[in-house]
Structure 1
């Protein structure tokens, strides 16, 4: 189905073990920033959201396209606010959230 609901677990996805393993390996190697890119409608968002549900580490998802459509120019402060909002949604990362809220600017 073209517009099925977003998957929430790995067993609902098909043929994505390679991508899961690559991202998990990057996380285990403590890569500080992981960016998932690709053409539209191939499951990038689902891949990231399922992985974030499975791991017990601080992680957030930021939809840059959505930010761009709202702000037309994404400033460091817009990114900071989105990071704080994303951590807020996860609720289990209060110490990290507190640190982010104390930041005055991102350069």
Structure 2
């Protein structure tokens, strides 16, 4: 069965989520730059194919962490994560997107990102 988070549980995991996302953003940028340079200039200050494969492997490890902890990764550029939860008896996703300071949004499970609302106080 999929994990269901309380708001407190999701918020307690946010420091680790933010740390992983910070690493992912840096790796994502390095891989984009390396790939572009290799294709367009034949070389890159960031290395070559082996370094690209290492970046991909490190990204893969980070992506697996989210699933291993019951956090749904919905996008990687920008990073968008959902925590399955229940609010007032309704299935929702506590929603956080790269760049936000706190976990402060949710949406009904079936509505996705367009249904985002601020969490009740």
Task: Report TM bin, short chain.
Answer: under 0.3
Higher strand share: 2
TM-score by length of 1: 0.27
The structure with more radius of gyration: 2
TM-score by length of 2: 0.25
Higher helix share: 1
